[in-house]
Amino acid sequence: MICNELWPHRLSVRTPGFQPGKRGSTPLGAAMKVLGIETSCDETAVAVLEIEDINNVKVLSNIVSSQVKLHAPYGGVVPNLAAREHTKNIAHVFEQALTTAGISDFEKEIDLITVTSGPGLGPALLVGITFAKTIAWKYNKPLIGTNHLKGHVYSNWLNEDFNAGSVVFPILNLVVSGGHTELVLMKNYEDFELVGETMDDAAGEAFDKVARLLGLGYPGGPAISKIAESGNRERFPLPRPMLHSKNFNFSYSGLKTAVLYLLRDLKEQGAEIDDQTKADIAASFQEAAIDVLVKKTIQAAKEYQAAAVFLSGGVSASAVLREKLKSATEDIGLRYSRPPMAYTTDNATMIAIAGYINHKYEKTDGSWQSVHMNANLGFKVVQGS
């Protein structure tokens, strides 16, 4: 759900004071109501989930207030503007999430608070973390900091037919967003290892920059996808950077520069950059960008003997990527998953699930003092990668 309105509301809050030994908690195994908070980039998002176990997750509310229009004139997200907007909106989004979920008594009904602690834009992350710490302290609730990228991975658990009980490890995750392009090997719920990453621009960033070159506005991914539908993907052969490198890393800045030079050359030749030419460039770029993602993911899945390939992150909204990765994984007999469309881009539902799993497996103490912002939070690196 995308919403930009503000919702007036008054909170009735008691201040019990923090009691580390007695933080409100529900025994694991009983259904828990989990609040998720996400402010790492340009979406202010709050969600409430009822989680009985990882196979029984019910989304009670999923509110996302997008700042896309605010940042569009700048062609990308401006960190301090994002933080100011999060500060303006977070209490309202929180209220809307509670109302939609039918939560009338936060103190009694919410069992666990989770918040994105990184990676992301520092000033933006701090707004969500500070808000989360404040309510955790006020209501004496456990608070879990969550890795945003793990959140994207867990957006796959939101598929209607997803059966976590039948999940087979290791899972090779391709996480592709505006800030990240990562291959992450998930050996179990506690063990994530980074197998490959971009050396420069993220895939989503390349979509955004190429869209800007074509005058398509921000965010570029959806705009490129749309016009590429009527484009000829073979008209302009573009490079596939690092396709044959001996590791599983990516590079996207060269591909973006190739589009820049292509446009310059076409203009020098006196060609008109009409809508069809733009569509052909978009389709050719998309083909090159996705080709590398799919091929490297399949190579890594083979190398690490993955049992499944999971796609996630904002770029997983690309229908072409979803389809191509599906058929490539099926060709080698691996299981494949991608998130429901509604959970491809940033949201707090995925953060609530990741936080719940952290709480269950990673044995953090759950105090609000234990949560710290880490704008560069990542994964353990596989040796030699």
Q: Does 284 bind ligand KG4 (CB under 6 A)?
A: no
Please name the residues in contact with 140: beta carbons below 8 A apart, sequence gap of 6 or more.
16, 17, 18, 19, 22, 23, 24, 107
Q: Does 78 bind ligand KG4 (CB under 6 A)?
A: no
Q: At what angle do helices 203-213 and 275-303 cross, to 10 degrees?
A: 170
Nearer to ligand KG4, 95 or 346 (CB): 346
Q: Does 205 bind Zn ion (CB under 5 A)?
A: no
Distance of alpha carbon 369 from alpha carbon 280, whole angstroms: 52
Please name the residues in contact with 78: beta carbons below 8 A apart, sequence gap of 6 or more.
71
Q: Does 38 bind ligand KG4 (CB under 6 A)?
A: no
- Among the listed residues 128, 314, 355, 366, the single contact to ligand KG4 using CB under 6 A: 314
- Among the listed residues 61, 146, 156, 345, the single contact to ligand KG4 using CB under 6 A: 345
Q: Does 225 bind ligand KG4 (CB under 6 A)?
A: yes
Q: How near is the Cβ of 368 to ligand KG4 at its closest, in Å?
A: 25
Residue that has been written with the tokens 């003997």 in this structure? 305
Q: Does 231 bind ligand KG4 (CB under 6 A)?
A: no
Q: Does 16 bind ligand KG4 (CB under 6 A)?
A: no
Q: What is the DSSP string of 345-372?
A: SS-SHHHHHHHHHHHHHS-----GGG--
**Sheet containing 380-381, strands listed edge to edge, beginning at the edge strand earlier in sequence:** 335-337, 308-312, 171-176, 181-188, 191-197, 380-381
Q: How near is the Cβ of 245 to ligand KG4 at its closest, in Å?
A: 23
- Among the listed residues 145, 196, 204, 241, the single contact to ligand KG4 using CB under 6 A: 204
Residue that has been written with the tokens 């998953």 in this structure? 337
For the chain, give the number of residues. Answer: 385
Q: How near is the Cβ of 280 to Zn ion at its closest, in Å?
A: 30
Q: How near is the Cβ of 377 to ligand KG4 at its closest, in Å?
A: 12
- Among the listed residues 300, 346, 368, 371, the single contact to Zn ion using CB under 5 A: 346
**Burial environment of residue 349 by CB neighbours within 10 A (0 to 12, 13 to 18, 19 or more):** buried
Binding positions for ligand KG4, rule: CB under 6 A: 41, 177-179, 204-205, 207-208, 219-222, 225, 313-315, 317-318, 345-346
Binding positions for Zn ion, rule: CB under 5 A: 177, 346
